[in-house]
Amino acid sequence: MDDAGLNTDALMRTLGRRGREAAATLRLAGPEQRTAAIAGMAAAVREAAADILAGNAEDMARARAAGLGAAMLDRLALTPERVEGVAAGLDTVAAIPDPVGAEMARWTRPNGLDIARVRTPIGVIGVIYESRPNVTADAAALCVRAGNAVILRGGSESLSSSLAIHAALEAGLRSAGLPEAAVQIVPTADRGAVGAMLAGLDGNLDLLIPRGGKSLVARVREEARVAVLGHLEGLCHTYVHAAADPDKARALVLNAKMRRTGVCGATETLLIDATAAPRLLPAIADDLRAAGCALRGDGRARALVPGMAEAGEVDWRTEYLDAVLAVRVVDGLDAAVEHVATYGSGHTDAIVTEDAAAAEAWTARVDSAIVLVNASTQFADGGEFGFGAEIGIATDRLHARGPVGAEQLTTFKYVVRGTGQTRP
Amino acid sequence: MDDAGLNTDALMRTLGRRGREAAATLRLAGPEQRTAAIAGMAAAVREAAADILAGNAEDMARARAAGLGAAMLDRLALTPERVEGVAAGLDTVAAIPDPVGAEMARWTRPNGLDIARVRTPIGVIGVIYESRPNVTADAAALCVRAGNAVILRGGSESLSSSLAIHAALEAGLRSAGLPEAAVQIVPTADRGAVGAMLAGLDGNLDLLIPRGGKSLVARVREEARVAVLGHLEGLCHTYVHAAADPDKARALVLNAKMRRTGVCGATETLLIDATAAPRLLPAIADDLRAAGCALRGDGRARALVPGMAEAGEVDWRTEYLDAVLAVRVVDGLDAAVEHVATYGSGHTDAIVTEDAAAAEAWTARVDSAIVLVNASTQFADGGEFGFGAEIGIATDRLHARGPVGAEQLTTFKYVVRGTGQTRP
């Protein structure tokens, strides 16, 4: 290993140790103190706006020199408005009810033992993310809200922006008397840092959250030696059932696809019953095309919508994240459920129907994190669920599924109160 | 790869595919059908008692020929009483409330969206266990209770016993009209089968549960490409606080250590306040020695108990699982909490005190899965918690902590009911 590697390795071990110590303090701090820290972070970000923009200017200059594309540059760019957005996001998290210590359940056994299941922080959480600098603040605040210490590893292209934001987060922690090590950032672009986090920092990392593209999440899933809460992809469906209300169907499909095409809750495939398609599909297609959406359909869909491109197997499997919709005509609910089970990613899937029995069958049989009836798949969002904020949508099945908010960043312990009971 | 390897690989892929199909059926089966299947398993085990004992006789003969130790032979041995015990265990699981479909939470958003968090099965669970043949039935029934398909990989030394029990489990599933593939067993001792399960069976395995010694659990943790719910070790403490009731302290320490020394909830280290030790430790030591327990103490403990062996750093870190107790005199609650944080395994730790403030400080500061006040650490058991049955005690922090019963073998999904809401 070269010197840089050695230094990074030693550095990461130190971050792990300091994170573990800070987690112990944070776990025992009161909710008010955590709230004060997050509110202090918001204030410090507003005070440090100039420094943050200066750091971002350095990142942008490097990115332009490196020839990054327009989309990447836009994700990386900060403006005074976006910095205020970061601070406002922190205010939102400061307002989320503190989950630590909440009693999830409590019961008494025949022998008199009083058993309570109580929420506790997870410990030290690692977040590995890509270019958006605002994740530095969002992720840190949500972890602290749930009583966890966090170690942040952002994209190298946003390092200067992230370091400037991180300095403000530390100031917020100081202002509330909490250890700065509650929120640490990896200050180097050395890729060895990621390897050290995947290896678990000598047992000082309890959970890894990758936030970024499929390749990042897949690598973390494949190589991590610690628990991972990851969002792989959102291949979401909207199914227009035979008994769908026409106006609702038109409004829901248009919103589910086109409100924002780049979010994981955007519908990628429209399934529509053969009995409803002749009535509804042409109008739905007109709405979508008027909004700038390209359509790719199977044979029966194309027969109903002139000029629709042909969709193949690959389209059923593609998360476009773009103004493109795959369309398939199906023969009833069984076929729709089968399609979702075969091609979906278990993220978010909606049915449009006025038939209560069909709605119940859909919610019972579709095994996705979020199953909707007569609502847009774009509601797949922690804020829309009332969580206040989210760090992502989990597509795994264990621990947390769907939007990951402060509650999902906790675990629990059992507190058993007795009066001297021994076990027979 | 040799032929055996190739065959095992193909076999395991098939088990995975069949398990995934069976899980879909099991998930949609009603609670009554799952109950009928488990009750049917119990009846079939009783009917097949002779076959099961014959299979066990083969295992015992092989084990004796291989020169296995007495403890191993006892763990492996089945008697008519033990077979009835297996059937009775199945009756118990059949009586556990079915967790699938239970509403964990439900709320309405300002926009009228009705959001429910509903329990769903995890999917396909792999259980890798060692010699006890009864695990075949316990683990299978608990997985089926929670709507999961299970793939069992028992110890090679118990293969004939496990195959005979498995045949009865299949009969129970058939009797309830559920697919036999809901409970599959790896019919070969080829170690490649474990490797295939660790690799996740082409995505057809959602969770792995290792049940056995530390080396097995550690290997599964290290190599698994799927989520793991594991029990590493139970290095449990009982802390006798200065304000402990003397009689409770004596009864609790004796029970926590000696009721059963081989269970994970057995106390391994006694911590006692320096102010209480002169009064209480001699009597506690007399009780333990009278029960056949060897004592190893630090300097202050040995000064109070003549003939006590010397305990060193290694003792604080040892899960004896035997009639041996490490004893350390500490200077108050802070020191006791510090010792547990340093040497404990986060499993189960108890305080004995009449001081409510000390009890609250203990439950708040000790970050273990189970934290007790004035109760024996031997209560660390799913049955004692009211779960009806358990598949183990989880010492990880994610998804489930502490006793793993039917509820802990489920995940959840969000069911969102709307009336045409689109997202602004």
Whether residue A374 lies within 8 A of chain B, CB to CB, comes out as yes
Residues B66 and B151 in one domain: yes
pLDDT score of A239 more than 70: yes
CB pairs under 8 A between A and B: 185
Whether residue A106 lies within 8 A of chain B, CB to CB, comes out as no
Q: Residue A68: inside a domain, yes or no?
A: yes
Residue of B124, B209, B399, B414 to mutate, interface with A, max A Cβ within 10 Å: B414
Residue A203 Cα, gap to closest chain B Cα (Å) = 12
Residue A341: its chain B contacts at CB < 8 A?
24
Residues B280 and B153 in one domain: no
Which of B207, B379, B411 is opposite residue A401, by nearest beta carbon?
Answer: B411
Whether residue B374 lies within 8 A of chain A, CB to CB, comes out as yes
Per DSSP, A222 falls in state H
Query: Please, what are the averages of pLDDT over each run of 10 residues along chain B (424 residues)?
Result: 67 96 94 97 98 97 93 92 96 95 96 97 95 88 97 93 97 98 93 93 94 86 88 92 98 98 95 98 98 98 97 96 97 98 95 98 96 98 91 89 94 97 97
Q: Residue A132: inside a domain, yes or no?
A: yes
Q: Residue B386: inside a domain, yes or no?
A: no
Query: A423, B378: Cβ pair inside 8 Å?
Result: yes
Residues A222 and A178 in one domain: yes
Query: B397, A359: Cβ pair inside 8 Å?
Result: no
User: Using an 8 Å Cβ cutoff, are A187 and A205 in contact?
Assistant: no
Query: A259, B421: Cβ pair inside 8 Å?
Result: no
* Average pLDDT rounded to a whole number, residues A330-342: 97
Residue B348 identity? T
Whether residue A189 lies within 8 A of chain B, CB to CB, comes out as no
Residue B258: its chain A contacts at CB < 8 A?
none
Whether residue A367 lies within 8 A of chain B, CB to CB, comes out as yes
Range of the domain at B279: 236-379
Which of A109, A386, A415 is opposite residue B363, by nearest beta carbon?
Answer: A415
- What angle (nearest 5°) sits at the alpha carbon of residue B142, between those of residues B140 and B143? 65
Q: What is the pLDDT of residues A338-395, one digit of tens each?
A: 999 999 999 999 999 999 999 999 999 999 999 999 999 999 999 999 998 888 899 8
Residues in a beta bridge with B330: B273
Residue A56 Cα, gap to closest chain B Cα (Å) = 31
Whether residue A396 lies within 8 A of chain B, CB to CB, comes out as yes
Query: B107, A386: Cβ pair inside 8 Å?
Result: yes
Residue A120: its chain B contacts at CB < 8 A?
367
At residue A2 the predicted structure's pLDDT band, cuts being 50, 70 and 90, is: very low
Structure tokens at A346: 């278990």
Whether residue A120 lies within 8 A of chain B, CB to CB, comes out as yes
Whether residue A417 lies within 8 A of chain B, CB to CB, comes out as yes
Query: A423, B222: Cβ pair inside 8 Å?
Result: no
Cα A32 to the center of its chain, rounded Å: 26
pLDDT score of A3 more than 60: no
Cα B168 to the center of its chain, rounded Å: 23
pLDDT score of A1 more than 60: no
CATH number at residue B126: 3.40.605.10
Residues A38 and A104 in one domain: yes
Query: B418, A375: Cβ pair inside 8 Å?
Result: yes
Residue B227: its chain A contacts at CB < 8 A?
227, 396-398
**Residue B364's CB: how many other CB atoms inside 10 A?**
16
* Residue of chain B with shortest Cα separation from A199: B222
Residues A74 and A94 in one domain: yes
Which of B373, B381, B423 is opposite residue A384, by nearest beta carbon?
Answer: B423
Residue A51 Cα, gap to closest chain B Cα (Å) = 34
Cα A56 to the center of its chain, rounded Å: 24
More confident residue, A4 or A188: A188
Q: What is the pLDDT of residues A252-305, one digit of tens each?
A: 999 999 999 999 999 999 999 999 999 999 999 999 999 999 999 999 999 999
Residue keyed to tokens 């327990």: B293
At residue A6 the predicted structure's pLDDT band, cuts being 50, 70 and 90, is: low
* Residue of chain A with shortest Cα separation from B266: A423
Query: A420, B252: Cβ pair inside 8 Å?
Result: yes
Query: B385, A417: Cβ pair inside 8 Å?
Result: no
Residues A192 and A257 in one domain: no
Question: A412: part of which helix (H) or strand (E)?
Answer: strand A410-421
Give me the number of domains chain A comprises: 2
Residues B328 and B408 in one domain: no
Q: Residue A319: inside a domain, yes or no?
A: yes
pLDDT score of A229 more than 80: yes
Query: A420, B113: Cβ pair inside 8 Å?
Result: no
Residues B274 and B317 in one domain: yes
Residue B3 Cα, gap to closest chain A Cα (Å) = 28
Residue B124: its chain A contacts at CB < 8 A?
none
Q: Residue A329: inside a domain, yes or no?
A: yes
CATH number at residue B285: 3.40.309.10
Whether residue A284 lies within 8 A of chain B, CB to CB, comes out as no
Which of B222, B365, B416 is opposite residue A379, by nearest beta carbon?
Answer: B416
Residues A217 and A241 in one domain: no
Residues B255 and B404 in one domain: no
Instruction: Give the closest residue to B55 by CA, choosing from B160, B196, B179, B211.
Output: B160
**A positions 296-325 inside 8 Å of B (CB):** none
Q: Residue B111: inside a domain, yes or no?
A: yes
Residue B157 identity? E
pLDDT score of A90 more than 90: yes
Going from the C-alpha of B348 to that of each of A108, A319, B120, the distances in angstroms are: 19, 46, 29
Whether residue B269 lies within 8 A of chain A, CB to CB, comes out as no
Residues A219 and A290 in one domain: no
Q: Residue A302: inside a domain, yes or no?
A: yes
* Residue of chain A with shortest Cα separation from B223: A225
At B1 the pLDDT is 41
Q: Residue B424: inside a domain, yes or no?
A: no
Instruction: Give the closest residue to A298 by CA, choosing from A269, A274, A328.
Output: A328
Residue B368 Cα, gap to closest chain A Cα (Å) = 7
Residue B15 Cα, gap to closest chain A Cα (Å) = 19
At residue A130 the predicted structure's pLDDT band, cuts being 50, 70 and 90, is: confident
Which of A27, A385, A414 is opposite residue B402, by nearest beta carbon?
Answer: A414
Whether residue B24 lies within 8 A of chain A, CB to CB, comes out as yes
Residue A218 Cα, gap to closest chain B Cα (Å) = 12
Query: B107, A341: Cβ pair inside 8 Å?
Result: no
At B172 the pLDDT is 98
Residues A217 and A257 in one domain: no
Average pLDDT, chain A: 94
Query: A367, B413: Cβ pair inside 8 Å?
Result: yes
Which of A122, A359, A414 is opposite residue B370, by nearest beta carbon?
Answer: A414
pLDDT score of A4 more than 70: no
At A79 the pLDDT is 97
At A174 the pLDDT is 98
